[in-house]
Amino acid sequence: MYICVCKAVTDRQIKQAASEGACSLRDLTRELGLGTGCGKCVPAAREVLGACLMSQ
Ligand code: FES
């Protein structure tokens, strides 16, 4: 499922990034470009990342 439509970033990519050490929204932005378009995905991305980090 796309979380960031502007940059075509999926929840799977966020989970992958989290498993490789991304632990903040800034990491996701740097690695995937997420949130650099309209910014609407930021709350959803934060939620997915938070859930990933909790389950690690
Ligand atoms: Fe992510 Fe627009 S949906 S920046």
Ligand 1 atom closest to residue 39's alpha carbon, by position in its atom list: 4
**Rounded Cα–Cα distance for residues 7 and 42 (Å):** 12
Instruction: Identify the residues whose C-beta falls under 6 Å from ligand 1.
Output: 4-7, 34-41
* Number of domains the chain is built from: 1
What separation in Å is there between the alpha carbon of 36 and the centre of ligand 1? Answer: 6
**What is the per-residue pLDDT across 1-56, written as a single tens digit (0 to 9) for each?**
999 999 999 999 999 999 999 999 999 999 999 999 999 999 999 999 999 999 87
Q: What integer pLDDT is reported at residue 25 of this predicted model?
A: 96
| Nearest-angstrom CA–CA distance, 23 and 1 | 20
User: Could you list the residue range(s) of the whole structural domain that residue 31 is in?
Assistant: 2-54
CATH (domain of 10): 1.10.10.1100
Q: Contact at 8 Å (CB) between 3 and 10? A: yes
